[in-house]
């Protein structure tokens, strides 16, 4: 049977991989799905965010329309990962207890609007359960995953189901239409987009340690900074973090920052330290979260000089929540690719 169409997914990060898999499920046998990317799982580049993520899920109170939308996307991901963790141990996903400790919580936390309440096993912590300095805390069941292992797993699934890949650095999103002769749809999962003025980086410095950990903990410190521990399943160690630095393009590791990160987590959760009271540092991590003012861009753009008959589905700018939103985003990408949703230009979420 002759091939009729190729759908190109630009990007092999978490959004490109999940979107490509969902499109593959929906496509007929005459459609080829091609991932075009500069980097693929197992590559290491500061501009390729996915391998650097913790990664875990942490509910947040949903007060703005964007938060509410993201909350819905994250619920889709939560349910999907629950199923996946049960049947695919090699995917590198586990469910475990998550703890939040906040020193200066906003009203949204105190009034607990949206977000948390629907999460499995959620309960507010008693005062006696809070570490010194924290005034608000919660416990819930969450997932965490080993991001490099998980991305490699998704790519393997895609290729085994007949998906194609091509390593190529595109100069523009329009160039993706030239990757084959029969392309009418391109999905833009390039992380930072192509020249979008609303996109910026949020630098993240963390530390991978081999000290084991049986929970995720996220603490908001009194100066507004965050401390966290996120185990990486399948003997991947534990991510200890970390910074969130908007518009900071520094690629070098700051040893001073590393000391602050480790010291704060040692105070927050001394049980993680080894018999000598130390961390066993494996490596320092610096990554760039592809962040977008106004939130993730998830919409269709029609292009083409004569008749605007070619479709670009944009799905980029997930900031610090790419994994959390991924399967929800992929579901919406499929709806946009196949036209189930109104295809109009509008400003993101
Ligand atoms: C330290 C740190 C911790 C994090 N922790 C978490 C967490 O706990 N939970 C969570 O949900 N998220 C977390 N994140 C955020 C998460 O990593 C990102 O949101 C996510 O990886 C973004 O995925 P993406 O697919 O959009 O982009 P990326 O992973 O950056 O992938 C972009 C893809 O597009 C390709 N590409 C880009 N430009 C071009 C071009 N010109 N031509 C061809 N290909 C191109 C790249 O090669 C790559 O394949 C963390 C991030 C960092 C840095």
Instruction: Return the ligand 1 atom nearest residue 320 CA.
Output: 15
In a domain, 203, yes or no: yes
Which pLDDT score, from 0 to 100, does residue 349 have? 38
In a domain, 343, yes or no: no
In a domain, 324, yes or no: yes
Tell which one of 80, 190, 205, 253 to mutate to probe ligand 1, the residue whose CB is within 8 A of the most ligand atoms.
Answer: 190
Instruction: Return the ligand 1 atom nearest residue 168 CA.
Output: 43
Could you tell me if 241 and 178 are in contact, meaning their C-beta atoms sit under 8 angstroms apart?
no
**Number of domain units in the chain:** 1
* Residue 15 beta carbon below 6 angstroms from any ligand 1 atom: yes
Q: Tokens at residue 27, please?
A: 């496509």
Whether the pLDDT of residue 274 is over 60: the answer is: yes
CA of 224 to the centre of ligand 1 (A): 24
* Residue 49 beta carbon below 6 angstroms from any ligand 1 atom: yes
Whether the pLDDT of residue 344 is over 90: the answer is: no
Rg of the chain over all Cα atoms, to the nearest angstrom: 20
Residues contacting 127, CB < 8 A, separation 6+: none
Whether the pLDDT of residue 345 is over 50: the answer is: no
**Residue range 170-202, pLDDT digits in tens:** 999 999 999 999 999 999 999 999 999 999 999
In a domain, 154, yes or no: yes
The average pLDDT across 243-253 equals: 97
* Residue 50 beta carbon below 6 angstroms from any ligand 1 atom: yes
Domain of 13: which CATH number?
Answer: 3.30.9.10
Domain of residue 12 covers 5-337
In a domain, 59, yes or no: yes
**Residue range 86-144, pLDDT digits in tens:** 999 999 999 999 999 999 998 888 877 666 777 899 999 999 999 989 999 999 999 99
In a domain, 347, yes or no: no
In a domain, 346, yes or no: no
Which pLDDT score, from 0 to 100, does residue 119 have? 84
Q: What gap in Å lies between CA 202 and CA 289, rounded to an integer?
A: 5
The average pLDDT across 304-309 equals: 78
From residue 288, alpha-carbon distances to 38, 48, 281, 340 in Å are: 16, 8, 21, 33
């Amino acid at each position: 049977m002759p091939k009729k169409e190729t759908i190109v997914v630009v990007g092999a990060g978490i959004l490109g991989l999940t979107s490509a898999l969902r499109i593959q499920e929906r496509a007929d046998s005459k459609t080829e799905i091609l991932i075009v990317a500069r980097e693929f799982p197992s590559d290491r580049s500061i501009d390729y965010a996915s391998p650097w993520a913790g990664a875990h899920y942490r509910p947040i109170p949903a007060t703005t329309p964007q938060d509410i939308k993201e909350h819905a996307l994250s619920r889709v991901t939560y349910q999907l990962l629950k199923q996946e963790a049960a049947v695919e141990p090699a995917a590198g996903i586990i469910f475990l207890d998550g703890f939040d400790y906040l020193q200066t919580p906003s009203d949204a936390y105190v009034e607990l609007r949206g977000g948390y309440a629907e999460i499995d096993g959620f309960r507010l912590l008693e005062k006696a359960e809070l570490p010194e300095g924290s005034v608000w805390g919660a416990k819930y069941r969450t997932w965490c995953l080993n991001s490099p292992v998980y991305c490699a797993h998704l790519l393997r699934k895609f290729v085994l189901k007949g998906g194609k890949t091509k390593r190529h650095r595109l100069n523009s999103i329009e160039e993706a239409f030239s990757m084959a002769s029969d392309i009418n749809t391109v999905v833009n999962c390039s992380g930072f987009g192509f020249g979008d003025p609303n996109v910026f980086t949020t630098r993240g410095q963390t530390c991978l340690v081999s000290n084991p950990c049986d929970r995720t903990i996220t603490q908001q410190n009194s100066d507004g900074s965050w401390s966290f521990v996120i185990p990486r399943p399948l003997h991947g160690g534990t991510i200890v973090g970390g910074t969130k630095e908007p518009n900071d393009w520094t690629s070098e590791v700051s040893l001073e920052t590393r000391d602050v990160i480790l010291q704060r987590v040692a105070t927050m959760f001394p049980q993680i330290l080894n018999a000598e009271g130390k961390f066993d540092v494996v490596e320092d991590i610096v990554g760039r979260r592809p962040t977008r003012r106004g939130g993730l861009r998830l919409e269709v753009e029609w292009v083409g000089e004569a008749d605007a008959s070619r479709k670009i589905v944009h799905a980029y700018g997930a900031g610090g929540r790419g994994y959390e939103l991924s399967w929800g985003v992929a579901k919406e990408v499929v709806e946009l690719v196949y036209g189930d949703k109104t295809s109009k230009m509008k400003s993101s979420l």
